[in-house]
Structure 1
């Protein structure tokens, strides 16, 4: 299976899809939250929310937005994810793939940007909140963090829903970093509250919020899910819609026993489950590039 995955990356036929669990590879000293549960703890430490929603990330964020201010959410999220943590070996390995047309990071950290910094001809497409950027689904950024104006409107001149078209400048990119729920860098864009997701989920089935470039690049590609769970409807919906009309076979490193909903999702989407701890899988995947000793898990070292 590893040979198959390596070969697919070499051909440019694989799309890495990273979730919050990838941050566990950064080590015990990493201050970045590596799960929704860890992140909601950061939010509720900064603002009081009702006990019944203290463990619900989107609901807690919505409460803070309603009774404090949206700026409170943005400030806490920016403080939480602004960190000097360097890219992990996985991020570095992905960043030097000769053919990496699409890189999906479904969390708020900026480790992919840091890893891609030495690469040429790449840029970012980030989902943005309607609460802060009404009239846009996505913002595009150059590697230096400057925003590219144009494209990605929610409505066209007639007021109808419009797809997220990319500015012409993005057509020259050989790698597109797609961050569907935003990122701390370069502009602190965060899709996190209930209302943020409602806006997207009302349109995501017809693909409107997903950039046209993503829809084009994914054709015929297989997705490799790393650090992801599919236990909630949100997680499944985003994964399903982002890999829609791509290849008919995908992979997910999922060492924990899948829930019933996860197992059903894996079957429906023809996702091959790789039953292996993430750190061991990454060590095997990247051994040729960095050496097995550097990436060995604590148990193996």
Structure 2
């Protein structure tokens, strides 16, 4: 099932697009707990392991908006920075394998640093989504990493960016090199609006993405936020657009994928990794929450 897709990944014609369950297998180095990444586990982690009201449990951006209104935007940013920037996690098997392929372009809608860590020994460009900025039309930051030992990210400009380097695109943010996150409803409204207007990603990536195929990995598509961001980031995709690896996809997900031109594969990340001899746990097991 996956052989042709893997070949496409290896030759750069298929672009990986990672969602929450792409992090399966990553655990807290101290406690062994899985990294919170999906909406439900993020809400629980943000609320000290306790469920919030049912209407807030519906989706992380809604819960984050509630906390922002009560405690300020900095509260949510500090939570995500501590979770992904200060807590030590084991590498996710999928990220390690993808990094070994030296891919030209990867899209990661999680907020962790796993891909950045995996690319820490090679030059690359980091594109980080931002929201609610003043003084600029753009909703992204560009960083250059030269791959030298001990080097750090340096912010760059559209005019100075080296377009020949591999690109890690983190549309929902990362704690490094500077903490920027798309988290609350207000963040999403601003970012998606500017993404639709063409200001959410660099022009050279919009050129590069034309007629490309995508492999959606670990990405549930049962919420509007994921669907809207996906639709805009892959605009001008090939026809068919690629494959969506979704275990037990519901009717809504299947209809959406058909509309965009994705073939739904009833599988999960561990099935893809098993094809190349890498073990990973199943997401069908209940996910516990890191505290």
Q: TM-score range by the shorter chain?
A: 0.7 to 0.9
- Once the two structures are superposed, residues 132-174 of structure 1 have per-residue CA deviations (whole angstroms, 9 ceiling, x without a partner) of x663410112334433144xxxxxxxxxxxxxxx24233241x
TM-score scaled to structure 2, two decimals? 0.84
Measured on the aligned residues, the alpha-carbon RMSD in Å equals 2.5
Q: Is the 8 A contact 1:101 1:217 kept in 2?
A: no
Instruction: Please point out which of 230, 245, 248 is paired with 1:253.
Output: 245
CA distance in 1, matches of 2:270, 2:205: 28
| Distance across 1 between alignment mates of 2:43 and 2:58 | 6
SS in 2 for 1:45: coil
TM-superposed CA distance for 1:51, in Å, is: 6.0
State the partner residue of 1:33: 36
Q: Which residue of 1 aligns with 2:257?
A: 266
Superposed CA offset, 1:263-300 (max 9, x none): 1111111111111232122121xx2xxxx2x52658xx
Listed as ranges, the matches of 1:51-70 within 5 Å are 52-70=55-73
Q: CA–CA distance in 2 between the matches of 1:86 and 1:283?
A: 19
| Equivalent position to 1:168, from 157, 160, 173 | 160
1:26 counterpart SS class: coil
Of Structure 1 and Structure 2, the greater helix share is in 1
TM-score, normalised to structure 1, is 0.81
Partner residue, 2:141: 139
Q: 1:49 to 1:71 in 2, by over 3 A?
A: farther
- In structure 1, which of residues 73, 94, 99 is the aligned counterpart of residue 98 of structure 2? 94
Q: Which of 1 and 2 has higher RCO (CA within 8 Å, sep 6+)?
A: 2
Which among 200, 206, 211 is matched to residue 197 of structure 2? 206
Length, aligned pairs only = 271
Offset of residue 181 of structure 1? 0.8
- Mapped to 2, the partners of 1:186 and 1:46 lie a distance apart of 28
Matches within 5 A, 1:105-120: 105-119=108-122
